[in-house]
Amino acid sequence: MKPLEDVRIISLEQYGAGPFGSLHLADLGADVIKIEDPNAGGDVGRYVPPFNQGEDSLFFESFNRNKRSLSLDLSTPAGRSVFEDLVRGADAVYSNLRGDVPAKIGITYDDLKHLNPAIVCCSLTGFGMTGPRAKEPGYDYILQGLAGWMSVTGDPDGPPTKSGLSLVDYSGGFVAAISLLSGLHAARRDGIGGDCDVSLYDTAMSLLTYPATWHLNAGFEPVRTKNSAHPSLVPFQAFEASNGWLIVGCAKEKFWERLVVAIGRPELGQDPRFTSFALRGQNKDVLLPMLEDTFATNTVAHWLSLLGPAGVPSGPINDVAHALTEPHTLARNLVVETEHPVYDTVKQVASPVNFGPERPTYRRAPRRNEDFADVVKELGYDADRVADLWSGGAFGPVEATV
């Protein structure tokens, strides 16, 4: 039995952050039922270019495998009644909407506890359900700017820079999943559910971690560093070799001692200007050019062949293609496959979350409303009830059925 096989989640999710969070729960066996608005064509992620055809996109596949889909119009009384029936038999209601929307559409714990006292209502929003920005939409790029990330990312002589990946969205998804599981544990223990008010803003701010602590307590002012250097540990950064780039990280004094021997510069280890973290930091403008000149004399492979056996933390700066074909990537089964009616075989990266020896199984993302028949059957609806719900607009236009 999969770890979350006995968990059912009703998910009003869209695009990236929300679906990313529930993806890991679905891979662990949770029954994630995506509620898709038939009036909007379902999850907007279905239409994200460049690799999209009709309602199929590789973007959507990346975030929605192992889930089910039901078209449902919650704005109609008939659609609301179906949603409430789903809540009665669910463990959690999950969403990623604007902060003021969960209360407006009635998906908070206070709205649903009469149906299921143990229901966990996890709302991942841009800015949370309280505060002056609660009604604002939240986007990864904007959050990286607001939370100060871009001020410390990029070259010192260049503009503030966004991370190459949507890390606020993805971190927010992980935080939402942790919050939901925490709520589920408490609900099963106590018999009482509640709200998880999770936001991308809170997530981004929390990830400021020790630079924030340094600033709040010692007035530290973070700055962008050349070659992605660590703010206080020297050397811990990217170095350019003759044919590419590598990362060298001396997070402990012993690594520095090994580094200078491995690269043939033992005299640097004896230089009184460089014998401690503090001294290397004070004299980095002298030390780093020496190291840069040394690394520039040979290839990435050459330096890694010396640094690895010497026990110096180091690695190549791969492009995405190399990262996906790294022997360790393949050995850890981090590339998985699903069969798809449009794309044939879809390859994507696996979830890093796991428990126990059983390997996850993977099913492609659902077509819109693909699981209509199974879900209404599980709810115990007969043909007359389904027909009444259709006529009441619960599932959208009749011709939209699959």
Q: Give the pLDDT confidence score for residue 295 in this predicted structure.
A: 98
Q: Percentage of the chain surpassing pLDDT 90?
A: 97
Is pLDDT at 399 greater than 90 in this prediction? no
How confident is the prediction for the chain on average, in pLDDT? 96
The single residue listed with the structure tokens 């043909």 is 383
- Tokens at 256, concatenated: 């520095």
- By CB atoms closer than 10 A (0-12, 13-18, 19+), residue 11 is buried
Report the pLDDT averaged over residues 57-71. 98
* Mode of pairing for the β-strands spanning 314-316 and 335-340: unpaired
Is pLDDT at 285 greater than 90 in this prediction? yes
Buried b (16+ CB within 10 A) or exposed e, 208-233: beebbebeeeeeeeeebbeeebebeb
The CA distance from 89 to 6, in Å, is 11
Q: At CA 179, angle to CA 176 and CA 184, rounded to 5?
A: 125
The CA distance from 114 to 106, in Å, is 12
Indicate the class that CATH gives domain 236-317. Answer: alpha beta
Nearest to 109 by CA among 122, 126, 125: 122
Report the pLDDT averaged over residues 133-153. 96
- Tokens at 221, concatenated: 């002012």
Reported as a single tens digit per residue, the pLDDT across 200-257 is 999 999 999 999 999 999 999 999 999 999 999 999 999 999 999 999 999 999 999 9
| Active-site residue identified among 114, 215, 230, 302 | 230
For the chain, the structural domain boundaries read: 8-207+363-392, 236-317
Is 230 a catalytic site residue? Answer: yes
Q: Give the pLDDT confidence score for residue 401 in this predicted structure.
A: 46
The CA distance from 38 to 57, in Å, is 18
Report the pLDDT averaged over residues 166-171. 98
**HEC profile of the chain:** CCCCCCCEEEEECCCCHHHHHHHHHHHCCCEEEEEECCCCCCCHHHHCCCCEECCEEHHHHHHHCCCEEEECCCCCHHHHHHHHHHHHCCCEEEECCCCCHHHHHCCCHHHHCCCCCCCEEEEEECCCCCCCCCCCCCCHHHHHHHCCHHHHCCCCCCCCCCCCCCHHHHHHHHHHHHHHHHHHHHHHHHCCCEEEEEEHHHHHHHCCHHHHHHHHHHCCCCCCCHHHCCCCCCCEEEEECCCCEEEEECCCHHHHHHHHHHCCCHHHHHCCCCCCHHHHHHCHHHHHHHHHHHHCCCCHHHHHHHHHHHCCCEEECCCHHHHHHCHHHHHCCCEEEEEECCCEEEEEECCCCCCCCCCCCCCCCCCCCCCHHHHHHHCCCCHHHHHHHHHCCCCCCHHHCC
Q: Which amino acid is at 226?
A: K
The CA distance from 37 to 12, in Å, is 9
Higher pLDDT, 338 or 398: 338
Residues in the chain: 402
Reported as a single tens digit per residue, the pLDDT across 332-375 is 999 999 999 999 999 999 999 999 998 899 999 999 999 999 99
Other beta carbons within 10 angstroms of residue 355's beta carbon come to: 10
The CA distance from 61 to 345, in Å, is 11
The CA distance from 63 to 40, in Å, is 19
Q: State how far Cα 285 lies from the chain centre.
A: 37
CATH architecture of 8-207+363-392: 3-Layer(aba) Sandwich (3.40)
Q: Give the pLDDT confidence score for residue 397 in this predicted structure.
A: 82
Reported as a single tens digit per residue, the pLDDT across 289-337 is 999 999 999 999 999 999 999 999 999 999 999 999 999 999 999 999 9
